[in-house]
Structures are given as C-alpha cells and as structure tokens.
Structure 1
Amino acid sequence: MFFMKIVTAKEMQDIDRIAIDDYGIPGIVLMENAAKGVVASLFKKFPDIKDKKVGIFAGKGNNGGDGLAVARLLTDKGIATEVYLLSKKDTLKGDAKTNLDSAEGMGIKILEIVSLDELEAVKDSILKNDIFIDAIFGTGLTSGVKGYYTDVINFINSSKKFVLSIDIPSGLSSDTGEVIGEHIMADLTVALCLPKIGEILYPAAEYVGELDVVDIGIPELIINNRDIKINLIEEKDAAGILPKRKPDTHKGTYGHLVVIAGSRGKGGAAALSSISALRAGTGLVTLALPECLNISFEAGIPEVMTLPLPDTKEGTIDKSALNILIKFLEGKSALLIGPGITTNPSTSSLIKNLIKKVSCPMLIDADALNIIADKIELLKDKLFPVIVTPHPGEMARMLNTTSKEIQANRIESSRKLSVEYGIYVILKGARTIVATPEGEVYVNPTGNPGMATAGTGDVLSGIIAGFMTQGLSARDSSILGVYLHGLAGDIGAEKLSQTALIASDLLKTFPEAIKRVERFNEKMP
C-alpha cells in the first residue's frame, strides 16, 4: 500500500531534479502539466468559467512561470485573462521566460507592476476580474514576505475575489504549519504533484482553502524510491485496511478486549470507550471497573461484560486488584487502560505495576498517560505493541515540555516519542498524527472543531483498541481508527452542526463512516 506523501520544499525540489536530470523529463513539460492541472481544477470549480475574467499575479520564478502557462491555456480556451507581473520582464529566466515569451506571442495582456504606486494606478482595472490566481512565490519561502509584496498580498486578500493559489498560498512556508508572515488567503490551492506540510498542518492549513493535488507527470517510482517519512491518510488507505467479515465466524473470531476504565463521577468515559470498541467490530468487551459502579453498568450497557474490582474509598480501582487483573488478562486479545480512572495514588500504583506485566497488545489513554508520564521507560522493550493516545497537554508531560512547544512541532514531537520508546503515538488534535517506531508519520485529514468536546478521545481509544483486538496491527489500527473517528465526527457535524456535536453522537454516526469506506471498496474495479 502506497500512501500519498507529504513533502518539504527540499524534498519536492529533489523529486523535480531527479525527474529532469535522471529521467529526462524537461522542466518545461512539468510546468505545462502543472498548468493543465490548474486549469482542470479551475474548470471543475467553475463550470461557467467562460463567462468570467481571470487575473493572474505572477512572480519571477517557476511559480510565476506556472501562472504564465495557465494564462496561455486559459486564453486558448477563450477565457479573458490578464497577467500582473510583479517583476521586470527581463528578470525572468529559463522555463518562466519561455512561458512569458509564449504568452506575449499570443497577445495576452501582461502588466509589469513593481511598486505600490503602479499597483494603485491599476487597482480599479484589476478588480474587474472575477477570479484571481496567485502564482507569486510558490514553495521556496523560508522567511516572511517583506516590502511591496505585502501590499500586493493585502490587496488580493481584501478584494473578496475567489483566489486560487498555485502549489501553495504565497507567503506560507512549505515546511511547517506555522504562519511566518503575511500570506494569501486562498479559496482553492492546487498542489503540484504532492501536498506540502504547510498545506496540511494548522494553523497554516486554515489559509489553504480547498486542497486539490494534481498529477504533473512525475513517475511514481521516483516518489516511492525516496525516503519520505510523512504520509497523508486517504479514504483509499482506510478502505484497504478495513477488515472484511467472513461468513464462517463467531464472536470469538473478533477478539476479546479488556477495558480498565471508570471511577465514581467518571463512568461516562468507561461507557464511551467500551461501546465504541464494540462499534468497531470487537467480538467481546469486558469492562474492568470499580465495584461501586458495577450495578449501574450491568443494567445500563447490556452488550458489555463487567469485571468488578476492589475500590478505594474515593471510588477508584484499588491497587489490590493487580492479581485479579493479571489472571483475567490471560488469553485476552488486547487491553485498553485509562479512561476516567483518575490519578489516585492507589490506582496509580496498580497501573504502573500492571503495565510491567501485561503480555498482550495495549492502548494507554487519558489518566493512565498522566500516571506513567514520569515513568515512560515502563513502555520500552515490550514484547507486544503499545499505543499511546495523548492530547498535547498529556504529550507535554510525557516529554517534559510545554503544550505550546508540542503544537509548534507536532510531527517531530510525535516521532521522537515513538522512536525513542518503541511505541505507537497518536497525538490528538486538528490533523491527528500517527507516529510509528520506524519513524513513519501519518497525518489524518478527517475531523472538525465540533469534536473538541468531552469524551471524543474515549471514543477514539475504544475504536483503535477494538481494531487491534480483531488482529489488525498497531499501525493499521491507529490509521484506520483516527480516519473513521474523524469521519464519524464529520458526518455528525453535517447532521447536527459542529456546535451541537457531543461524543455519544459519534457512536451513532460511526456505522455510517464504516459504510462510506466500505462503499469505496465496492466502487473499486
């Protein structure tokens, strides 16, 4: 299975160079293919585009060359197009100069606008366009935009016109989700060949608009042979992982998950994680919980079995439950620890001692992560896979840093924890990250702000543990789990709105998320 790669500017430059130098594909051909992709995307967005006027803002580099090629193709299709060149014509070189000459040869109107005064003089004329195309900087920026270019960017953003950016909105960095200065706020970005990190990660991703990745004719072999470690999870990937049920099976076929969760006042976390594991297809789920909660759970959730455990006076699981749990875990398929257990000292002692002795795949979430934050070495060299599912605050405690630092370096923080301790890390948040001990990173595009509500993390942990219980690898369980969880949230937001969405809604929409992915498989030849 090949995932779509997410690249830095240098990685993309290396791919371009190999295509040109080693495979003999001329740069002008790649530029032409890029322009064709942009035009196709524009036509898809605007079926009535022949009635519209297009203004293209072009820089002097290859991004500007892409814009000039687009101008030529649009003009050839009878669409009124003008180019606003933000540099003197004699500064263009190579393929960009070739496309400038071709555009001029076709009689396309090309205005040199190299100062604020020149921009002011033609503003009214420029604003007669219906669509702006941003072909100013492309992927090469490493620092914020300065000088006259900030005036151009502010003018474009304030125009309220539909803006399409070629490859990446000008002013954003390709290599980070951080915003480095003034930038185009695009409605549609057409990424050439592969998406860039700055188009996928927030806060920069907010300014990309709709993202359309187009083929520019670079052989897949070049991409697959590069050691690119960051991947985008797509529907096809989830469909390829989703297990299919065989006719001659029974509940034992789909595994037995043990969930250690809940305490007095936090029974909801236990319920959400247990039910979501069943929704993910787990054959059997046993909820190990404080004895004081057992009666209400036996009556309230008939599909989930319970294992009542000795409890503390505070209503948490007592450390004396250790031997009971060790014996009960014999022969079980997987273990989920953490939702709603609190960090009570007795419970904390139990969890630390239990983790040492667990001999099955394990997912650690919520309070259990806080319990082991100062003892992460407990997770090293386990014979069975371990998945941890921190939010940025929990991750910060595990790495002894701040949430702000984690959010600014989501990919590298996740990879560091995963590789150093040999565990699978799922860093929750906008664009949830899955990191593997091999250094691979998978970025999830599904989900929405409506999921920023209590309990959605418990649903996620149950889903992933449920897939692992059925025999999927820790990697595949994580990838499939985060994608379907986010998709269930998106379906819920469509039906109910983001504002009204609550965690238990995901239990209702999760089946539709699975059906959508199953339908993808049905459509494949």
Structure 2
Amino acid sequence: MSAPIPVTPELLRELPLPNHREGEDKNSRGRVLVIGGSREVPGAALLAGMAALRAGAGKLQIAAPASLAAHLAIAMPEARVTGLDETAEGGLAPEEAARLAGRCAGCDVVVLGPGMMDPPATAQLTRRVLEEAEGSPGFVLDAGALAELMDCRAALRRHAGRLVLTPHAGEMARMLGLPAEQVAADPLGVARQAAAALGAVVVMKGGRSFVVSPQGEAWSCDRGNIGLATSGSGDTLAGIIGALVSRGAPPVTATLWGVFLHAEAGDRLARRIGPLGYLAREIPGEVPAIMGELAG
C-alpha cells in the first residue's frame, strides 16, 4: 500500500467544497439530522449540531431523548428538536427506529451516535435505522453508533458510497474486536481493515489522524494539538463532516476537509487561549473563517 498523502491547504484547494450562491435557500445548503444524546451526556448532540451549522449546513434537526428535548431546543434555537422515547438508562429507545428511519428521507445526512450511552439499546437502534432508513442520506457514524457495526454489514451495504465512520483508538478496538495495543501499533493498517470490511470512509482519530477510503487510499493529518483531546471534541468533528456531506461534498472530500478544519481550529484556539484548556464548544466558531480562507 502507498504511503498516506498529507492533508494540506493545497490539497484541499484541489478538492473544493460545493459553492453556494446568493439566492439559494437553506434546503440547498444541506439538511442535517443529528441523532444522539443521553441522560448523562445531553450536550453531545448540541455540539454536533452547532458544528454542523458552523460548517455551513442550512437546516438542522436534532433527535434526542424526550427528557432532554426542551433543554436542547432552548440551547439551540436554530434547530428543530424532537423528543423520543428513552430507555430506563436514559438512552434512545430502539422502538423509535422506525420513526427515525422515516425522518431520514427529509435529510441529506444523518449524524448518528454522539452522546449515546446505553450500549445495547444504541446497537439495536443503529442497526434498525441503517436497515430501514428511507431516502438516500449520507451517514456519519460516531461514538456509541460504532460499537456493533461488524454485525451490521448487510445494513451498511445499503448505504455504500455514503458512509463515514469516526472512531478513536478505543472505539476502533471495540468495533473490530481487536486488542487496543494492536490498534495503537498500526492505526493506519487497522483503519484500512475497517474501511474495507465496512465499505466506509474511516477517520482514525488521534495525535496524527488518518483518513482511509474503502479502496485503501489513505491521507494523514498531523495538524492540531493536545488541546483537541478534550470532552466533546469528537462530537464537533462528526458535525463538521456531516455538514460538508449534506452540502454535497463526496464523503472522502468532506472527511478530509472536516479533519483539517477541526485540527486548524484547535491550532488557532491554542494560539489564542493556550495549548490546554480551550473547550469543544469553542471549536465550531473557528470553522467559518478557516473555510473562507481556504476558498479564497
């Protein structure tokens, strides 16, 4: 296999994002549905949604446990928020899968998984949404939605060419049933294994992140800093990538841009605030300026 290609501004300018013109309505800018949150992690869906809008999506829906819905709607007045039945543990109930599958038809991308903390229920919900999803949205699968994907390969094949997975090393190890040491020893090789097995673009998140296509093409991004290793940071990355897919960028292009924007946002926050202590909620606010500079 060839060495990974560095993700640089020059590379991204050769892979431009869709150009939205004056006069277009918000639907043409992309419709994002974030499915996530739980009683213990209510803010993850909020972070993903905020990042999606900052990355240029035109419309945002959030589907979350009913006990969180009113709070999320107040915190994110730009979003349509739907409260769903929840499990005793405070996660999304698998019985809501049919309702969510129908909602997929009105979206360009579904970001599924941020903050979902009831593993058995999350696995059932993820599988059923993938099996029953109406329309042809893209999917960005993150966090809790990743755990049982090796058992969902038939469902994943329905969405070939429209899938992005965003695991960190621990999630990758659980997803593939590998020792954590094996993932740490060869993150690129493991990412290629996952991309080929699941037919998805994979982001292997870490100090040096790798992006791999289902065909084994690979890119690397060593921008960013230790400050990005903070609670909620991955939720913002999922939201950014989801927005770019919703706007019409192919999954590989959206993922390369998303990884770079996320890393560069961290670098700018580190210079302004310090290398440690900036917050995930501050990452999305850096994204519009970076996109504008790269497009200029």
TM-score per shorter chain, which class?
A: over 0.9
Q: Secondary structure at the match of 2:147?
A: helix
1:503 to 2:280 alignment = yes
- In the alignment of these two chains, the number of paired residues is 293
> Do the aligned partners of 1:254 and 1:470 also contact (CA within 8 Å) in 2?
yes
* CA deviation string 1:197-230 (max 9, x = no partner): xxxxxxxxxxxxxxxxxxxxxxxxxxxxxx8452
Q: What is the distance in 2 between the residues matched to 1:228 and 1:367?
A: 31
> Do the aligned partners of 2:20 and 2:29 also contact (CA within 8 Å) in 1?
no
1:268 to 2:70 alignment = no
Match of 1:492 in 2: 269
Match of 1:438 in 2: 215
Match of 2:95 in 1: 320
**Aligned residues with identical type, % of pairs:** 30
Q: What is the distance in 2 between the residues matched to 1:298 and 1:453?
A: 24
Q: Secondary structure at the match of 2:60?
A: strand
> Do the aligned partners of 1:262 and 1:341 also contact (CA within 8 Å) in 2?
yes
Q: Secondary structure at the match of 2:46?
A: helix
Match of 2:74 in 1: 299
Pair member with larger Rg: 1
Q: Secondary structure at the match of 2:68?
A: helix
Match of 1:287 in 2: 62
Equivalent of residue 386 in structure 1, options 138, 141, 163: 163
> Do the aligned partners of 2:227 and 2:276 also contact (CA within 8 Å) in 1?
yes
Equivalent of residue 7 in structure 2, options 226, 233, 236: 233
1:472 to 2:246 alignment = no
- CA gap of 1:312–1:420, structure 2 versus 1, over 3 A, is closer
Please say which of residues 264-273 and 461-470 is displaced more in the overlay.
264-273
Equivalent of residue 451 in structure 1, options 206, 217, 228: 228
1:507 CA displacement: 2.0
The amino acid across from 2:36 in the alignment is A
The amino acid across from 1:368 in the alignment is A
1:271 CA displacement: 0.6
1:330 CA displacement: 1.5
> Do the aligned partners of 1:275 and 1:304 also contact (CA within 8 Å) in 2?
no
Q: What is the distance in 1 between the residues matched to 2:161 and 2:151?
A: 21
TM-score by length of 1: 0.54
Q: Secondary structure at the match of 1:330?
A: helix
1:400 to 2:173 alignment = no
Equivalent of residue 308 in structure 1, options 83, 106, 125: 83
Match of 2:139 in 1: 362
- CA gap of 1:340–1:457, structure 2 versus 1, over 3 A, is same
- CA gap of 1:313–1:398, structure 2 versus 1, over 3 A, is closer
> Do the aligned partners of 1:393 and 1:402 also contact (CA within 8 Å) in 2?
no
- CA gap of 1:475–1:438, structure 2 versus 1, over 3 A, is same
> Do the aligned partners of 1:376 and 1:398 also contact (CA within 8 Å) in 2?
no
Match of 1:143 in 2: none
- CA gap of 1:272–1:449, structure 2 versus 1, over 3 A, is same
Instruction: Note the residue ranges of structure 1 that are not aligned, 5 or more in a row.
Output: 1-226
The amino acid across from 2:173 in the alignment is A
* CA deviation string 1:275-325 (max 9, x = no partner): 100000001010011111111111111111112211223322112212211
Q: Secondary structure at the match of 1:275?
A: helix
The amino acid across from 1:232 in the alignment is P
1:383 CA displacement: 4.3
1:380 CA displacement: 3.5
> Do the aligned partners of 2:231 and 2:280 also contact (CA within 8 Å) in 1?
yes
1:384 CA displacement: 4.7
**1:167-246 map, 5 Å:** 228=2, 230-240=4-14, 241-246=16-21
Q: Secondary structure at the match of 1:329?
A: helix
> Do the aligned partners of 1:377 and 1:421 also contact (CA within 8 Å) in 2?
no
Q: Secondary structure at the match of 1:316?
A: coil
> Do the aligned partners of 1:448 and 1:486 also contact (CA within 8 Å) in 2?
yes
Name the structure, 1 or 2, with higher relative contact order (CA <8 Å, separation 6+).
Answer: 2
1:237 CA displacement: 1.9
- CA gap of 1:283–1:401, structure 2 versus 1, over 3 A, is same
Match of 1:117 in 2: none
- CA gap of 1:450–1:383, structure 2 versus 1, over 3 A, is closer
* CA deviation string 1:108-139 (max 9, x = no partner): xxxxxxxxxxxxxxxxxxxxxxxxxxxxxxxx
Match of 1:338 in 2: 113
